[in-house]
Amino acid sequence: MSSTPVIDVERLNLSYGDFHAVKDLSFQVERGELYALLGTNGAGKTSTLEIIEGHRSATSGAVRVFGQSPRDRRAVRPRMGIMLQESGFSPDLTVKESVRLIGKLTQRADTVERVLGVVDLTRKAGTKVSQLSGGEKRRLDFATAVYGKPELVFLDEPTTGLDIQSRDDLWAAVDNLREDGSTIVLTTHYLEEAQQRADRIGLMHRGTFHREGTVSELTRTLPAVIRFGLPPSAPALPLHGKREHDGKFLIETFSLQKDLFTLLGWAHDNAVELGQLESGPTRLDDVFRAIGTE
């Protein structure tokens, strides 16, 4: 397997006048991985993606896609599929005509029938784009992005507006692409999708990365929590905790299993009922909230 990253971003900067949308950003996306680019609103994700996709130029820094400048459309685009955040189809064309047009322009071999089957739009082939629902347009978006099974696929908010079945179908199609060796760059506001599917995640805030790594590496930076209610007559806790505004106790721990075992053992020994006990490992949401306050 080649060690050359598919995407190589080095000290990327993008400024609009005095406003720095992207500051000194560096990261790589390896071949075959699913990389999620997440961030707070206005963090610079869209600007970063547009530079990598070749839609705009950076103020400074270097971006290479397949070892080439992403602005070299002829060299890079045949290997790349892009699912835009907003649908951009001509309303008077039919579904089939739209896929056929974009498919021809990708310079990749495939059939309209196959990609329409992937997104379950076969029976809508003759329908004008203006008559499609929002979810159907997103599926059409995805179809044009995966036409010809590109080596690199950008998915910008791919499941927005999709029902659960359509989401499952989309992710099944993404899994098939990955089995064929495609590299995926994902942006999404559905953190559970990133948590379940991403090999690595880059968390942007105010134009730069605040965290980058696997889900495990990211969530390891924050403690897990155990939350419960205690009767007023309960003896002293065996672990350090704090009372929250709603009266419940909160224990933060980097050893969830050990401390949960200790707490449950203490409750059993002292005949204490832990009301509304809840616990769980750190989630990506927690990491996300933490960077939003930094």
Partner 1 sequence: MLPIALSELIQIFRNRSVLITSFVMPVVVSAFFIYQHEVFATLGSLGYIAAVVLFTVCAFGLYASSVTTLASRRQNLFLKRLRSTAASDAGILTGLVLPVTVIALVQVAVIMTVFGVVPGMPGTIGLLVVAVLATVAMMLGLGLATAGFTNSPEHAQVTTLPVSLGVIAVASWVGIAGTEELTWLKRLLPGGSATELVVDAWNGGVSAGRSLLLLAPTLGWVVIAVVLASRFFRWEPRR
Interaction between residue 78 and partner 1 (CB under 8 A): yes
3-state secondary structure 166-210: HHHHHHHHHHHHHHCCCEEEEECCCHHHHHHHCCEEEEEECCEEE
Of 157, 188, 191, nearest to 285 by C-alpha is 191
- Segment 140-179, which members bind partner 1 (CB under 8 A)? 144
If the CB atoms of residues 16 and 242 are measured against partner 1, the closer one turns out to be 16
Candidate list 63, 82, 99, 155; residue touching partner 1; CB under 8 A: 82
Of 242, 232, 236, nearest to 270 by C-alpha is 236
Helices 95-106 & 134-145, crossing angle to 10 degrees?
A: 30
If the CB atoms of residues 138 and 200 are measured against partner 1, the closer one turns out to be 138
Residue type, 177: L
Interaction between residue 93 and partner 1 (CB under 8 A): yes
Interaction between residue 84 and partner 1 (CB under 8 A): yes
Interaction between residue 102 and partner 1 (CB under 8 A): yes
End-to-end alpha-carbon separation of the chain, Å? 39
Interaction between residue 91 and partner 1 (CB under 8 A): yes
Candidate list 4, 57, 107, 131; residue touching partner 1; CB under 8 A: 107
Of 2, 36, 61, nearest to 203 by C-alpha is 36
If the CB atoms of residues 89 and 249 are measured against partner 1, the closer one turns out to be 89
Instruction: Return residues touching partner 1 (CB under 8 A).
Output: 53, 55, 73-74, 77-78, 82, 84, 86-93, 97, 100-102, 104-107, 144
